[in-house]
Structure 1
Amino acid sequence: MTDSLAPLSRPILAGAVTALVGFTSSFAVVLTGLGAVGATPAQAASGLLALSLMMGISCIILAWRYRMPITVAWSTPGAALLAATGAVDGGWPAATGAFLVVAALTLLAGAWPGFGLLIARIPASIAQAMLAGILLPLCLAPITGIAVNPWGVLPVLLTWLVFVRLAPRWAVPLAFVAAAIVVGVEWIRSGSTVEAATLLPRLEWTAPVFTVEALVGIALPLFVVTMASQNVPGIAIMRSFGYEVPWRPAMLVTGIGTALSAPAGGHGINLAAISAALAAAPDADPNPRRRWIAGASTGASYLVLGVFAAALSALVTLAPEAVIPAVAGVALFAALGSAVHQAVAEAGERLPAVVTFLIAASGLSFAGISAAFWALLAGLLMRWLLTVRR
């Protein structure tokens, strides 16, 4: 009996690690993004719970149905986009309406291959430059936070720095542990109290509102960023391990999951990219045909982790100034580096990419529409003008 269970323990453990690393590395970014577009702490906790539930169910469905270690994640770059965008006309209800539009566009990409091809025609350099510009202010937060709250931020940065060298996979989760200790010390010192009811997981529903500003300023950039930095790389990473992920079912499952989570505050789920390798690599199981168990285990682990959504939201609320932005910033360092590299990799694409990056990083908001949209538009226009000139 023990011998028969032994081969299963490896992919099950790999799935649990995949979920734990993915969740703890970026949940602070998600809470920051949802709060920036108008969510209260309770609504942000609801969004985190809804996303965890939909990710878990989607992982289990896709891994079991296709016998592949397909994993699903929330859109961390999308959450960073929300943090950079801020509130739009219509507030939080308009943001949830934008999330529903993203779900509809994802479903359209799955149902109509032509639409997916159209999105794929957006140059990677422009999309990645837009993402890099969005990420830059967030990645500066750990640096500027040292001046604001050195005793709170330095333990986070030093922990991250040590474990980037010793155990890179766990560097961000352990930086969060350091932040949690800082919060705990401050909580004890201040004598604050937390109501037990606020620590219980619960969903809070919001009636969506649809506005032009939210459609153009949130939905369209969020969809493009998610496709360019999550879904497309996710497919490529899985292919590198010998798995051909079925595009249409994957988009339909994640699109439905996004639609179901949106009224509860979830901004979107998608195919995992970087964390996908944890479940799909040979370390998960030497036998490629058994690695789908790691995908299902990832899903089950997300369902368990969702229980802690409200408690984590409460922890973020109690945190001293600059501590949580520091955690979110170090969590995005790798994404920023990757985005910058892809944006300027081709010499002929650099000038449009730089224009896109600068506008996105500027935080420019015009006519109620966020900088991300204007950056994408300006980059595409610049690229077209240079092409016409040639």
Structure 2
Amino acid sequence: MGTVIKDMSLSAFVAGFVAVLIGFSSSVAIVFQAARAAGADSSLIVSWIMALGLGMGATCFFLSLWYKSPVITAWSTPGAALLATSLDNISYAEAIGVFVFAGLLTVITGISGLFDKVMRLVPLQLACAMLAGVLFKFGLSIFDSMMSDVLLVSTMLLTYLVSKQVIPRYSILLVLVVGVVMVLGRSDESLMSGIPFELGRFLWVWPEWNLGALVGIGVPLYIVTMTSQNIPGVAVMRSSGYNTPVSPLISWTGVTSVLLAPLGGFAFNLAAITAAICSGNECHKDPKRRYIAGLSAGIFYWLAGLAGTSVVALFSIFPSTMISALAGIALLGTIGMNLKSAIADDENREAALITFLVTVSGVSFLEIASAFWGILFGAICLLISKIKR
């Protein structure tokens, strides 16, 4: 406990809060869609949010504390999007069975160590290129949002550029404060009055097993989560210099999914976008003290889960332009660092460039996300160049 207190810093604590704010606000609507597709009513949807908050909070806090590195987890946003279009023809209990099955597959993957071995074969340049491609659209979102709200986004960006030169450790905090003040300042007084301040409650539903759903939905949910979330998540840690063993992390996210699936915790995985916020220089100059951001994220995820609908309603106050701009600004340093690392080596530059371009393109073959194909295409390019040499 004394070590944690000694390592505590405001910038890392704020990084954890920003990660939760962006994580919830950017994709909670997709989770709602997935829950409704599964047949969940309003009470069950609250249970979903509480289970997801509890699961992410526990894994973020305890894994970060144990490994002393910023281990940030998240729900599977691509998985939620898949579920939103795939659960119409099965019962809610059968949907729970799908979640449990996908979680078990993740546990097996983690225990076997296969995922860790595969990721260690990927050169750092390709991992950085893939991560830069995943994050690239968030950088562009700053200027897309600026077209919709010039004053808000321009002020946030200007705040970042100035504060980065003066007090770089607190630049993201200042951007957040400026954004919140501007949003509240131009809103009417009744903005906060519509938020219900109440605690939700968990609802447990036992799983039922439908072989067709397990194969047709469970396997794709597992594949999407591994390729779209866990591969970029590992790339974030590797590019930031953390050699945290991957297999236990994958195993624990799978165990969490299995345990919380009956409450609505459909899929947990390593985060990429929010992890990048918590593992960069803006979080803290000392990499050994950035794990505080993981503890902070865990605490705020717990609070978000306990508050249920209240927190979701609170997050909905902030316009999408502010959230998009905040995410993009917070990730600018990470995007630049990974682009630099990807193309610094002449020998692997072309393979890294192909990885980056394929990932940015968003191509999806066999319903597998572009992050996977970026790594694959880059690896093929690298292999061909090595055979020639």
Tell me whether 1:31 sits opposite 2:38 in the alignment. no
The CA deviation at 1:333 is: 1.5
1:223 to 220, 230, 240: 230
Distance 1:29 1:252, change over 3 A: closer
Q: Could you say what secondary structure the match of 1:264 adopts?
A: coil
Tell me whether 1:375 sits opposite 2:382 in the alignment. no
CA contact (8 A) 1:130 1:372 kept: yes
**Which residue does the alignment assign to 1:14?**
8
The CA deviation at 1:126 is: 2.3
Instruction: Write the distance in 1 (CA, Å) between the matches of 2:6 and 2:257.
Output: 26
1:134-145 matches, cutoff 5 A: 134-145=134-145
CA contact (8 A) 1:89 1:213 kept: no
Distance 1:51 1:170, change over 3 A: farther
Q: Could you say what secondary structure the match of 1:318 adopts?
A: coil
Instruction: Write the distance in 2 (CA, Å) between the matches of 1:127 and 1:133.
Output: 10
Distance 1:305 1:281, change over 3 A: farther
The CA deviation at 1:150 is: 0.8
Tell me whether 1:54 sits opposite 2:61 in the alignment. no
The CA deviation at 1:121 is: 0.8
Distance 1:295 1:119, change over 3 A: closer
CA contact (8 A) 1:58 1:299 kept: yes
Mean CA deviation greater in 208-217 or 136-145: 208-217
Distance 1:360 1:13, change over 3 A: closer
Whichever residue aligns with residue 319 of structure 1, its letter is: F
Distance 1:295 1:69, change over 3 A: farther
Instruction: Write the distance in 1 (CA, Å) between the matches of 2:62 and 2:149.
Output: 44
Q: Could you say what secondary structure the match of 1:72 adopts?
A: coil
**Which residue does the alignment assign to 1:164?**
164
**Which residue does the alignment assign to 2:255?**
256
1:180-199 matches, cutoff 5 A: 180-188=180-188, 195-197=194-196
Whichever residue aligns with residue 338 of structure 1, its letter is: M
Distance 1:222 1:55, change over 3 A: closer
Instruction: Write the distance in 2 (CA, Å) between the matches of 1:105 and 1:160.
Output: 42
Q: Could you say what secondary structure the match of 2:72 adopts?
A: strand
Distance 1:217 1:380, change over 3 A: farther
Tell me whether 1:336 sits opposite 2:335 in the alignment. yes
**Which residue does the alignment assign to 1:72?**
71
Instruction: Write the distance in 1 (CA, Å) between the matches of 2:87 and 2:34.
Output: 9
Count of aligned pairs between the two proteins = 362
Instruction: Write the distance in 1 (CA, Å) between the matches of 2:294 and 2:362.
Output: 38
Q: Could you say what secondary structure the match of 2:122 adopts?
A: coil
Distance 1:255 1:373, change over 3 A: same
Instruction: Write the distance in 2 (CA, Å) between the matches of 1:372 and 1:315.
Output: 32
Gaps of 5+ in 2: 37-41, 89-94, 208-212
Gaps of 5+ in 1: 1-6, 240-244, 285-290
**Which residue does the alignment assign to 1:4?**
none
Q: Deviations over 1:146-168 (max 9, x none)?
A: 22211222232233233323333
**Which residue does the alignment assign to 2:210?**
none
Instruction: Write the distance in 2 (CA, Å) between the matches of 1:345 and 1:99.
Output: 41
The CA deviation at 1:347 is: 1.4
Q: Deviations over 1:314-346 (max 9, x none)?
A: 344333452221112112212212321232232
Whichever residue aligns with residue 54 of structure 2, its letter is: L
- Aligned residues: CA RMSD: 4.8
Structure 2 length normalisation: TM-score? 0.70
The CA deviation at 1:353 is: 1.6
CA contact (8 A) 1:362 1:371 kept: yes
**Which residue does the alignment assign to 1:3?**
none
Q: Deviations over 1:188-225 (max 9, x none)?
A: 17x55754437756668898972665555453232211
The CA deviation at 1:351 is: 1.2
CA contact (8 A) 1:47 1:266 kept: no
Distance 1:145 1:366, change over 3 A: same
Distance 1:303 1:20, change over 3 A: farther
Question: Between the two proteins, what is the percent identity of the paired residues?
Answer: 25
Q: Could you say what secondary structure the match of 1:187 adopts?
A: coil
Q: Deviations over 1:272-320 (max 9, x none)?
A: 7774797996996xxxxxx999987885565346556755533443334
Mean CA deviation greater in 260-269 or 153-162: 260-269
